[in-house]
Amino acid sequence: MKIVVQKYGGTSVSTPEKREMVVRRVAEARENGYQVAVVVSAMGRNGDPYSTDTLKSLVLQEHNDVSLRELDLIMSCGEIISATIVAATLVKKGIISRALTGSQAGLLTDGCYGEAEVVDCRPEKVKESLAKGEVPVIAGFQGTDSKGEVNTLGRGGSDTTAVILGAALKAEKVEIYTDVAGIMTADPVLLKEARIIEQITYGEVCQLAYEGAKVIHPRAVEVAMRNNIAVVVRNPDDSSRGTLITGESSLLQGSYSTRGRRAVTAIAHAVNLVQFLIEFKDTDPWKELEIFQRIGEADVNIDMISVFPSVKAFTVKEEDSGRVEDIIRKLGLTYRLEKNCAKVSVVGVGMHSIPGVMARVVKALNEDNIKILQSGDSNITISLLIKEDDLYRAVKVLHGTFNL
Ligand code: ADP
Ligand code: MG
């Protein structure tokens, strides 16, 4: 029998009405001949009683020195609560169901508290449950390591749980239900004219996610790509629409040429960035290595890195900028900071075979008087660092320029 894994995000399980919609989507898939395994996130968003952030602050308020082990234990509870409630809702509606923790669902993690990776998945209990005709409801975002300790998978981790289970169960597809209608041409919260993308490649979604579009976790997309599992992103209230994420081949089926392909598929953005510009003189070239080494040792991620003989430029998240300043000061280097920066990234598999994409980006931003502070690129992405105040206008003008 064909299997589908359905993952429901926090808002999709937050109220009794929303959970009714979950039941409807599960029933519908069963009517269409699927065995259904459900993965859930913690209910609601920050501030809601059982959200991950609320549970975390519950302990941190009084005990800010709590160990990472205990923090992971409490953070894993939100999904367990959610799984129990969703399973009970299904039972009430006549669908036999059982709730399972990540550990019971066989997700084995690497022991890295707060940011664990899944190293193996042996979903025996999930298979048993499916074989009995039940709907197993699995707590996302968690697993246990080889010592039996609970680990959480980091923000967006339930997406990864769903795709890994999909691969382990040899599911036909994984459906990610969220609070937007699919993967859109830009974040719909920022740009209301953003449109749903009907079909997109794994590579593009991964890149969008890395560049700040949190609609799906990049690790989940990587797992889907490696296992060639189709992923659908949609809204539980509007399941007739949505986005299909697949390999490039299905997009280009029957096509021999790249002409007519879209250069840009979507735009992602990230905020709260600080740009560092460090001056270098002939007398201190040895500090080049030292600076990057020290930043690495401080566990700070740097981005948009440009190295020239006389200047080194990069960005960091605002929360890390103080630590980086300390490092640079200790090395006695002269530097300049540009605070309140944002990064806009245009992403598209078509762009590497279509000339002139950068020219169109620059023209659009210039005409709108948006200053480009720095740029970076990969084969399917061009990123521009700009001031946060210009972000909305930049996304809007680029969205128009590439006819998204
Ligand atoms: P969930 O709780 O269901 O996992 P998330 O909040 O993690 O939901 O992801 C959905 C959010 O992703 C949307 O509310 C939207 O603001 C944001 N988002 C950012 N970029 C995009 C995009 N390109 N398409 C759709 N949503 C996006
Ligand atoms: Mg999410």
- Establish whether residue 180 lines the binding site of ligand 1, counting it when its CB lies within 6 angstroms of any ligand atom: yes
Q: Span 149-155, mean pLDDT?
A: 95
Contact (CB, 8 A) for 224 and 202: yes
Coil, helix or strand for 263?
A: coil
Residue 243 lies in a domain: no
Question: Which residue among 123, 158, 179 closes a domain?
Answer: 179
Residue 47 lies in a domain: yes
Which tokens go with 214?
């949190």
> Ligand 2 centroid vs 287 CA: distance in angstroms?
40
Tens of pLDDT, residue by residue over 115-137, are 999 999 999 999 999 999 999 99
Residue 210 lies in a domain: no
Distance of alpha carbon 283 from alpha carbon 285, whole angstroms: 6
The amino acid at 228: N
55 and 173 inside one domain: yes
- Establish whether residue 243 lines the binding site of ligand 1, counting it when its CB lies within 6 angstroms of any ligand atom: no
Higher pLDDT: 354 or 93? It is: 93
Whether the per-residue pLDDT at 257 is higher than 60: the answer is no
Bridge partners of 66, per DSSP, are none
Residue 396 lies in a domain: yes
Q: Identify which of 328, 174, 202 has the alpha carbon closest to the alpha carbon of residue 265.
A: 202
Tens of pLDDT, residue by residue over 376-389, are 999 899 999 999 99
Q: Which ligand is nearest to the CA of 209?
A: 1
20 and 168 inside one domain: yes
Bridge partners of 336, per DSSP, are 277
Query: At what angle are helices 202-210 and 218-227 packed, to 10 degrees?
Result: 160
> Ligand 1 centroid vs 163 CA: distance in angstroms?
17
Contact (CB, 8 A) for 373 and 338: yes
- Structurally, the chain folds into a number of domains equal to 2
Which DSSP helix (H) or strand (E) runs through 219? helix 218-227
Contact (CB, 8 A) for 283 and 236: no
> What does the pLDDT read at residue 258?
54
Give Dmax (Cα) for the chain.
76
Tens of pLDDT, residue by residue over 297-337, are 999 999 999 999 899 999 999 999 999 999 999 988 999 99
The CATH number assigned to the domain holding 148 equals 3.40.1160.10
In degrees, to the nearest 5, what angle opens at C-alpha 259 toward C-alphas 255 and 264? Answer: 105
Burial of 93-131, coded b for 16+ CB within 10 Å and e otherwise, reads eebebbbbbbbbbbbbbeeebeebbbeebebebbbebbe
Would you place residue 250 in the very low, low, confident or very high pLDDT band (cuts 50, 70, 90)?
A: low
Q: Span 133-142, mean pLDDT?
A: 98
In sequence order, the 6+-apart residues with CB closer than 8 A to the CB of 251 are: 199, 201, 349
Residue 213 lies in a domain: no
Residue 143 lies in a domain: yes
Report percent pLDDT > 90 for the chain.
85
Q: Which ligand is nearest to the CA of 267?
A: 1
Tens of pLDDT, residue by residue over 163-214, are 999 999 999 999 999 999 999 999 999 999 999 999 999 999 999 999 999 8
Q: Span 31-39, mean pLDDT?
A: 98
Range of the domain at 125: 2-179
Alpha helices in 32-141 (DSSP H): 52-60, 68-75, 77-92, 124-131
| CA-proximal residue: ligand 1, atom 11 (nearest) | 215
- Establish whether residue 266 lines the binding site of ligand 1, counting it when its CB lies within 6 angstroms of any ligand atom: yes
| CA-proximal residue: ligand 1, atom 12 (nearest) | 215
- Establish whether residue 178 lines the binding site of ligand 1, counting it when its CB lies within 6 angstroms of any ligand atom: yes
Q: Span 17-31, mean pLDDT?
A: 97
| 3-state DSSP of 281-310 | CCCCCCHHHHHHHHHHHCCCCCEEEEECCC
Query: What number of residues does the chain have?
Result: 404
Residue 217 lies in a domain: no
Residue 224 lies in a domain: no
> Ligand 1 centroid vs 217 CA: distance in angstroms?
10
Q: Which atom of ligand 1 is nearest to the CA of 183?
A: 24
| CA-proximal residue: ligand 1, atom 10 (nearest) | 215
Give the E-state strand segments of 236-379 in sequence order: 243-246, 266-279, 303-307, 311-317, 335-347, 374-378
Question: Which residue among 148, 164, 179 closes a domain?
Answer: 179
Question: Which residue among 130, 148, 179 closes a domain?
Answer: 179
288 and 166 inside one domain: no
- Establish whether residue 183 lines the binding site of ligand 1, counting it when its CB lies within 6 angstroms of any ligand atom: yes
Distance of alpha carbon 366 from alpha carbon 63, whole angstroms: 51
Whether the per-residue pLDDT at 369 is higher than 70: the answer is yes
Distance of alpha carbon 234 from alpha carbon 24, whole angstroms: 14
The CATH number assigned to the domain holding 377 equals 3.30.2130.10
